[in-house]
Amino acid sequence: MNSYDIAFVPSDERSHREVLEKIHAAWFRGERPPAQPRPVIRDSWLRLKRCGLNPVNQPAAVADRARGDDAAILAVLPIVRGMIGPLLDDDHILLVLADANGTVRWRAGGRAILRRADQLAFRPGGHWSEKAVGTNAIGTALSTGTPVHVHAAEHFYLSHHGWSCAAAPVIDPRMMRPLGVIDLSSPADQANPMAVALVASVARQIGVELKEEHRRDLGRLAAATRTPGAGRWMLVDDWGWVAAAEGVASSARIRLPSGLSGSFPVDGLGVAGAERVAGGWLLRPAARSEGVQAQLELTIGAHRCWLAAPGAKATSIHELTGRRASIVAWLADHPAGVSARELAEAVYGRPDAVTAVRAEICRVNSALGTVVQSRPYRLSESIRVIDER
């Protein structure tokens, strides 16, 4: 099943645009609309209304400069050109690549469509996130993580109602989040309802090729790194994907803490130390490094917690406060583990706050490694708890 829906049917496109204008006008006047907007459009409008934006007063698309990883989407340009380039013979089609922040990094099209796009700052450097320019294919595709077609008056701002735009996020297989967005735009009266299917197909194909390239990168990392041979160790790239391992049943990816220093818990290795190698990290049990203790220490205070990660030369101290401290303290009091609902009830006072609980646990693990394990939620066995409450 496709994760997108068709914005309009060609046979009734003109009358449909008229209905969309009436829906938009009624919606933002607080009146009863003749029909409801599509769910993806309704949700976007609601997000923007909560931000206090007005569909009449459109801010300018703020210019930005490409820098570092922000321009990484340009690496897929040859694939995009090969698959969609022939369509650009039509003067009314605009092809755009935007980065993961919604900033346009490249575009191509005929003179007429480029001039029209310039009037909206729809050009390299223009920022097209939802918060910047309202409901639009680029920004809404990034907000939802799915292909989106935004047609005519489905756009939030009145100045965009003459456009029809389809966009799909390109997923980076290393980080499992959007690398950027592919967008096809045209005047609304010349739009093709299947544009969203096309950009979705191209984005999927790019994802397949990026995944294969990443697989080759892992192979090169394994071949180029001098590993210990015997003992327990794991070789991972900078995103935690396992290139090789010995003496441990590893998953395809482990969670690396931000700013690797000291020791941190790793599934299968326990408390591990990290050695930098070209293109990744060599992880080994911390006890193998001279002077390193094989256990993390979690000190629980009245309102905050400290996780001490001993290293060979120094000990890294990480402080947790607020909800994160409450979650970790509750788990320390329930070593057998608890469910997400139980944790939500204990920390937030309501069992339906499981999404918030999972988000906080994800942030803790992203910062510190796999401190909290799941199914059920519990502290890693490599952590020694010191209760000072």
Residue range 75-94: average pLDDT?
Answer: 88
Reply yes or no on whether the pLDDT at 301 is more than 70.
Answer: yes
Q: Which of 213, 246, 262 is the last residue of a domain?
A: 213
Q: For 231-235, 246-250, 307-311, 358-362, which range has the lowest pLDDT when averaged over its residues? A: 307-311
Note whether 265 and 234 are within 8 A (CB).
no
pLDDT tens for 59-71 read 666 655 545 456 7
Same domain membership, residue 275 and residue 367: yes
Q: For 40-44, 133-137, 362-366, which range has the lowest pLDDT when averaged over its residues? A: 362-366
State which residues form the domain around 297: 233-387
User: Whole-number mean pLDDT of the chain?
Assistant: 85
Two tokens, residue 323? 């909800």
Q: Which of 150, 179, 213 is the last residue of a domain?
A: 213
Same domain membership, residue 119 and residue 31: yes
Same domain membership, residue 182 and residue 238: no
Q: For 3-7, 84-88, 119-123, 225-229, which range has the lowest pLDDT when averaged over its residues? A: 3-7
Same domain membership, residue 294 and residue 246: yes
CATH number for position 153? 3.30.450.40
Residue 228 in domain: no
Provide the pLDDT for residue 100: 94
Same domain membership, residue 151 and residue 53: yes
pLDDT tens for 317-351 read 677 788 888 888 888 889 889 999 999 998 898 88
Same domain membership, residue 174 and residue 109: yes
Provide the pLDDT for residue 312: 44
Same domain membership, residue 185 and residue 127: yes
Residue 264 in domain: yes
Residue 19 in domain: yes
Same domain membership, residue 175 and residue 266: no
Provide the pLDDT for residue 313: 45
User: Where are the extended beta strands (E) located within the chain?
Assistant: 94-99, 104-109, 148-151, 163-172, 177-187, 233-237, 242-246, 263-266, 270-277, 280-285, 296-300, 304-310, 315-321, 372-373, 378-379, 383-387
Burial (Cβ within 10 Å: 0-12, 13-18, ≥19) of residue 36: exposed
pLDDT confidence bin for 11, thresholds 50/70/90: low
Q: Which residues, listed in sequence order, are joined to residue 276 by a DSSP beta bridge?
A: 281
Reply yes or no on whether the pLDDT at 291 is more than 50.
Answer: no
The count of C-alpha atoms lying within 13 angstroms of the C-alpha of 364, restricted to the half-sphere facing its C-beta, is 31
Provide the pLDDT for residue 317: 64
In sequence order, the 6+-apart residues with CB closer than 8 A to the CB of 302 are: 389
Residue 219 in domain: no
Note whether 243 and 236 are within 8 A (CB).
yes
**Three-state SS at 54:** coil
Q: How far is it, in rounded angstroms, from Cα 143 to Cα 271?
A: 37
Residue 5 in domain: no
Residue 341 in domain: yes
Burial code (b: 16+ CB inside 10 Å, e: under 16) for 344-356 equals: bbbbbeeeebbeb
Single-letter code of the amino acid located at 86 = P
Residue range 173-191: average pLDDT?
Answer: 94
Q: How far is it, in rounded angstroms, from Cα 109 to Cα 376?
A: 53
Same domain membership, residue 49 and residue 15: yes
Single-letter code of the amino acid located at 180 = G
Q: How many domains does the chain have?
A: 2
Reply yes or no on whether the pLDDT at 45 is more than 90.
Answer: yes
pLDDT confidence bin for 285, thresholds 50/70/90: confident
Same domain membership, residue 186 and residue 58: yes
Q: Establish whether the linkage from the previous residue to 39 is cis, with ω within 30° of 0.
A: no
Two tokens, residue 315? 């000990």
**Three-state SS at 308:** strand
Same domain membership, residue 328 and residue 209: no
Instruction: Kindly report the pTM of this predicted structure.
Output: 0.74
Provide the pLDDT for residue 292: 41
Q: How far is it, in rounded angstroms, from Cα 128 to Cα 137?
A: 9
pLDDT tens for 123-173 read 999 999 999 999 999 999 999 999 999 999 999 999 999 999 999 999 999
Residue 226 in domain: no
pLDDT tens for 186-235 read 999 999 989 999 999 999 999 999 999 999 999 999 999 988 877 889 99
Same domain membership, residue 314 and residue 249: yes
Burial code (b: 16+ CB inside 10 Å, e: under 16) for 305-339 equals: bbbbbbbeeeebebebeebbbbbbbebbeeeeebe
Provide the pLDDT for residue 212: 96
Provide the pLDDT for residue 158: 94
